[in-house]
Amino acid sequence: MTEIVGRLAPSPTGALHVGHARSFLLAWWHARSRGGRVVLRIEDLDRERVKPGATDLVLRDLEWLGLDWDGPMLRQSEDEEPLRAAVAELLERGSVYPCFCTRREIALSAPHVTDGEVRYPGTCRGRFASAADGERELGRAPGLRLAVEPGELALEDGFVGPFTSDVEREVGDFQVQRRDGALAYQLAVVVHDARQGVTEVLRGRDLLSSSARQWLLQEHLGLPHPTWYHVPVVVDEGGARLAKRRGDATLVELRERRVDPRALVAWVARSSGVNAPDRIGARDALEGFRLDAVPKEDVVFGARERAALG
């Protein structure tokens, strides 16, 4: 039997909220309840968005929730070597091409927006004979984009079921390296998931649209495809997804209010089909957890739920 390896992959870009807590608990329960391991990765590559001190806060949040992990945690920013090697491999295979476009140019030239993402219209594909030619002509350094073939991919999600995605139509050729040299999330996720031996990725449904890009990169790099489980997200009373930038229901705030973490874990457990008492530890909910009992709808965490935590 192959070993089950799940993962927690927080981004230290601000305080985690109840939505993150739910996804992390579900990922941990799903792996651990089947005898699997859980690894931790801190997704801190995006220097523009990483907040100082946020990694320590995230670690405290995980501990507060009663979650643990196996082996050393991986900080993406300290493990860029394999990412650079993957980029070199993509270059060598001719899978990526240099792109000189600025964000502004792309926004101006691309009217197509899917899920808040601007489709890249392919401006730089085949534009210059070499990256050096482009740099000479435009006087700036390029990023790199994966050349995406048109067509629909039929993929499978362990929670959502079968789904299709046409990456070329939805987002077009996508970045694997930014113009400032920073490595893109899509590339980092697939390389580091493989490096950490991850066999299953359970995360919020908002990331479902990234999966096809990640599947393509795995194909190009000859990496295994983990099983995905994209679970419903936590929304407020108005149906809006909780967001870091709005400072929604952060775990720091709950800790400061001296909320018992077992009350939050109990709320997550009950909203996930576990028959739990008012307070329960993460480990104690393992026995009653089954992913197929998790409802398919988004869950509301509003003023009422917040007050009920005590």
Q: State the residues that interact with ligand GLU by CB under 6 A.
A: 9-11, 43, 189, 203, 207
In whole angstroms, the minimum distance from the beta carbon of 189 to ligand GLU comes to 5
In whole angstroms, the minimum distance from the beta carbon of 201 to ligand GLU comes to 6
Partners of 7 in the beta sheet? 39
Closest to ligand GLU by CB, 96 or 190: 190
Residue partners of 81: CB distance under 8 A and separation at least 6? none
**CA–CA separation, 13 and 53 (whole Å):** 10
The two beta strands, 96-99 and 74-75, are unpaired
**CA–CA separation, 269 and 57 (whole Å):** 23
Whole-Å CA distances, 83 to 55, 127, 186, 191: 21, 26, 11, 6
Closest to ligand GLU by CB, 244 or 306: 244
Rounded to 10°, the helix 18-32/54-65 angle is 60
Are 109 and 61 a contacting pair, CB within 8 Å? no
Residue partners of 147: CB distance under 8 A and separation at least 6? 95, 96, 97, 125, 173
- Token digits for 147? 């050349």
Closest to ligand GLU by CB, 9 or 171: 9
In whole angstroms, the minimum distance from the beta carbon of 37 to ligand GLU comes to 17
Closest to ligand GLU by CB, 211 or 266: 211
Establish how many alpha carbons lie within 13 A of residue 169's alpha carbon, considering only the half-sphere containing its beta carbon.
7
In whole angstroms, the minimum distance from the beta carbon of 208 to ligand GLU comes to 11
In whole angstroms, the minimum distance from the beta carbon of 215 to ligand GLU comes to 13
Closest to ligand GLU by CB, 120 or 229: 229
In whole angstroms, the minimum distance from the beta carbon of 94 to ligand GLU comes to 27
Closest to ligand GLU by CB, 12 or 142: 12
